[in-house]
Amino acid sequence: MLSSSWIELDQAALTKNIRYLKKRIGTAVFLSVIKGNAYGHGIEQFIPMAESAGIGHFGVYDAQEAYRALQVKAENTHIVIMGMLDEDQMDWVIQSDVAFVVFTLDRLKAAIAEAKKQKKKALIHLEPETGMYRTGIEECEIPEAMDLIKKNGRYLKLEGFCTHYAGAESIANYLRTQNQYQLFERLKKDFRRKGITPQYYHSACSAAALIYPYTIMDMVRFGIAQYGYWPSMEVKMNNLLSEQAKFTRDPLKAVLSWKSRIMSIKSVPKGNFVNYGTTYLSTKNMCLATIPIGYHQGYSKSLSNSGYVLIKGRKAEVVGSINMNMFMVDVSNIPGAKAGDEVVLIGKQGDLNITVSSFAELTKMVNYELLARLPYQIPRTKV
Ligand SMILES: *Cc1c(COP(=O)(O)O)cnc(C)c1O
């Protein structure tokens, strides 16, 4: 193998997650959010896996991700760009029937102009401002947007009318989320009154769909939950305690594992500093394993002297600092550990499991960030 570590993606876990989440949203369409390189899972590997579990809609962040998705997706699979789209990329985007979210009048006008040129409909999702104040077309611009949409029916297909909640995973944002929902409902009515009927009304991310079922509407944009993680502890607790969703075994299974191998073994006599500097002093004669992973490979420096890995089904603690490409773990209590042995950085080995959230707690990163930062160049394989 060229690479010093690899990522395994569990098809059975993904299929289970999707089946469970589909059950939770009834007949609404499941849009699989694959921004951030499919939350680190790898767009190219993830799309066919999700397709084989029945997914036909994907949401990407930008034109680059849409381009990658186009190379691997099945013929009837739909792609929507939720974020950045430069006007100079609109030609091939419209040409390839990639939909995109529109949150400025400029983008709407550019879409119409390009669609006219191609004598083809641009597929758009209109996003009004509802209170997140990030993207979203201003309420005062909506009448002009409605007029443009009505007048240009030959050049536009309004696939969606959508919004996004500013933190549905936390009860601290309850009021803000509810206000957004109310405003969105009012804007929906304005659209209907005007005789404009989008194909899908959608507002929910994982958290909103799983705690506020009325936000499900016609489509849910599932990100984190499909990969096997609850958006937050609060969302998990809310489900655990609710009548309709309570569970004894967690219905969400982690899809991703990250593995490497021991590069070399070293014995260190009592009373010596290990690795750079003086952060770790051996207090006994020790046996250490060197792991060929460092912060360049995505293993955070903040795991120095605090992280752990699994070797031979046992826990091995990080000793000393995480270097750019290596770190060391204590294998004194794992007899027989040798170069070439499998090392689990995230995932299961034997009876033990290193979850992304335990890993994330040590680094003060949330699941989302840890996953999305897994380097692009680590090979991903389906298992
Ligand atoms: C990231 C994102 C989602 C998915 O959020 P999760 O919390 O991962 O489910 C949905 N909608 C938009 C607009 C997003 O940017």
SS3 327: strand
Per-residue model confidence (pLDDT) at position 245? 85
Q: Determine which residue's CA is closest to atom 10 belonging to ligand 1.
A: 205
Rounded CA separation 380/7 (Å): 5
Rounded alpha-carbon distances, angstroms, from residue 321 to 22, 279, 305: 44, 7, 6
pLDDT digits (tens, 9 = 90+) for 303-335: 999 999 999 999 999 999 999 999 999 999 999
Rounded CA separation 67/87 (Å): 15
> Whose CA is closest to 26, among 165, 240, 168, 216?
216
Amino acid, res. 149: I
Residue 223's pLDDT band (cuts 50, 70, 90) = very high
Mean pLDDT of the region 2-27? 97
Q: Find out whether the beta carbon of 206 lies less than 6 Å from any atom of ligand 1.
A: yes
- Whether residue 3 is predicted with pLDDT greater than 90 in this model: the reply is yes
Q: Find out whether the beta carbon of 224 lies less than 6 Å from any atom of ligand 1.
A: yes
Q: Determine which residue's CA is closest to atom 6 belonging to ligand 1.
A: 223
**For a pocket test of ligand 1, which of 173, 200, 206, 221 has the largest count of ligand atoms closer than 8 A to its C-beta?**
221
Q: Find out whether the beta carbon of 232 lies less than 6 Å from any atom of ligand 1.
A: no
Looking at residue 121, the DSSP 8-state letter turns out to be: P
Q: Find out whether the beta carbon of 219 lies less than 6 Å from any atom of ligand 1.
A: no
Rounded alpha-carbon distances, angstroms, from residue 164 to 32, 83, 130, 168, 187: 15, 12, 8, 9, 14
Kindly state the tokens that stand for 6: 């690899």
- Whether residue 222 is predicted with pLDDT greater than 90 in this model: the reply is yes
- Whether residue 132 is predicted with pLDDT greater than 80 in this model: the reply is yes
pLDDT digits (tens, 9 = 90+) for 161-177: 999 999 999 999 999 99
Ligand 1: atom nearest CA of 61 is 15
Q: Find out whether the beta carbon of 164 lies less than 6 Å from any atom of ligand 1.
A: yes
Q: Mean pLDDT of all residues in the chain?
A: 96
Per-residue model confidence (pLDDT) at position 238? 93
Q: Find out whether the beta carbon of 366 lies less than 6 Å from any atom of ligand 1.
A: no
3-state helix, strand, coil in the chain (%, to 5): 35, 25, 40
Mean pLDDT of the region 137-164? 97
> Whose CA is closest to 87, among 77, 73, 102?
102
Among left, alpha and beta (phi > 0; psi -120 to 50; other), residue 40 is left
Contact 203, 215 (CB under 8 A): yes
- Domains annotated for the chain, with CATH where assigned, are 11-241 (3.20.20.10), 256-354 (2.40.37.10)
Per-residue model confidence (pLDDT) at position 314? 97
Residue 207's pLDDT band (cuts 50, 70, 90) = very high
**For a pocket test of ligand 1, which of 184, 205, 212 has the largest count of ligand atoms closer than 8 A to its C-beta?**
205
Residue located via tokens 């009154």:
193
Q: Find out whether the beta carbon of 201 lies less than 6 Å from any atom of ligand 1.
A: no
**For a pocket test of ligand 1, which of 82, 165, 220 has the largest count of ligand atoms closer than 8 A to its C-beta?**
82
231 alpha carbon – ligand 1 mean position (Å): 10
Contact 310, 273 (CB under 8 A): no
Kindly state the tokens that stand for 359: 């890993």
Strand partners, 99: 80
150 alpha carbon – ligand 1 mean position (Å): 29
Q: Find out whether the beta carbon of 34 lies less than 6 Å from any atom of ligand 1.
A: no
Amino acid, res. 336: G
> Whose CA is closest to 33, among 71, 81, 77?
81
Q: Determine which residue's CA is closest to atom 8 belonging to ligand 1.
A: 223
Per-residue model confidence (pLDDT) at position 340? 98
Residue located via tokens 């609850």:
230
- Whether residue 206 is predicted with pLDDT greater than 80 in this model: the reply is yes
Model-level pTM? 0.96
Mean pLDDT of the region 7-26? 98
